[in-house]
Structure 1
């Protein structure tokens, strides 16, 4: 199985990008992992929030294969602790799917079409974080999940 993280817009903080790169490299020891950035929309000044979500949604949906299982990261999604998240990952790996795709939307969230296509919604916290920070948190939680599944000590450090 491949795990893919899709996100809108590049990370412009070099320290944050360095941490993302570190966890991405670590994660590669456990699972095939891809991190794909969808470029920020240009000329959004004249777009409403709904129009921006619609355009971003089209870009997100255009990156999916018909067999992908897509999970959106959403403030109203299901919250899991790290152990339950590791079990969530294991369940998906056991199901035989080819690709599990986690999606971090733009600043206004997702279009109705993305929600409709989603196979689930997860929330990393009730708090609001920047979209750039969520990338790091998600990749770290994926890494943590695999270390839990392998009974490695990282989770308890």
Structure 2
């Protein structure tokens, strides 16, 4: 399985990069993983709704340019479908049997994703109703993908 994660914004802090590198290393035995970043737009504190829509559209265009043609798209959204770890693992395990060999997760910027990108996705996924920093969400997503592979292969992993 090929997995691509497209995220808005640069990962600046060393500790986030170290965590991501660790999960990249762990996942290398299970899948082909690609992490892509697109530039974020600065949002003024006093931005109105139209300004926010413009920002989302600009970031959305950058994301769309990175989506491969064979992608099974999953958008990460607060209002998305929630799974527990076992349900997520079962979903991930079914994808190849349903003809999907390239999974693309999209993590938007601080203002979220455009409606167009959300409609284009096959699944809107949420790991929590809580809001997480985008850097942390990348690590959580990678950890859950790793956990899913371990579950699907009946390999031990801490609970």
TM-score (norm 1): 0.92
Q: Are residue 152 (structure 1) and residue 155 (structure 2) matched?
A: yes
Which of residues 113, 116, 119 is equivalent to 1:116? 119
* 2:34 counterpart of 1:63: no
- Residue 100 (str. 1) matches residue 100 (str. 2): no
Q: Report the CA distance between 1:155 and its aligned residue.
A: 4.2
Q: CA-to-partner distance for each residue in 1:95-154, whole Å, 9 max, x for gaps?
A: 222311000001101112111211110001111110110000000000000000010111
When the two structures are aligned, how many residues end up with a matched partner? Answer: 155
Any idea what SS the aligned residue of 2:37 has? strand
Separation in 1 of the partners of 2:14 and 2:96? Answer: 33
Residue 132 of structure 1: aligned partner? 135
TM-score w.r.t. the length of structure 2 is: 0.91
Q: Which residue of 2 aligns with 1:8?
A: 8
- 1 CA distance for matches of 2:71 and 2:136? 25
- Name the residue aligned to 2:144: 141
Residue number among 51, 58, 62 corresponding to 1:48 in the alignment: 51
C-alpha displacement at 1:64, in angstroms?
Answer: 1.4
Alpha-carbon offset, residue 93 of structure 1 = 2.0
Q: Distance in 1 between matches of 2:110 and 2:122?
A: 21
Q: Helix, strand or coil: the match of 2:157?
A: helix
Shift of 1:56: 0.8
Q: Which runs of 5+ in 1 are unaligned?
A: none
What is the rounded CA distance, in whole Å, between the counterparts of 1:129 and 1:135 in structure 2?
10
RMSD (Å) for aligned C-alpha atoms? 1.5
Q: Give, in whole Å, the separation in 1 of the partners of 2:15 and 2:133.
A: 15
Alpha-carbon distance in 2 for matches of 1:93, 1:4 = 15
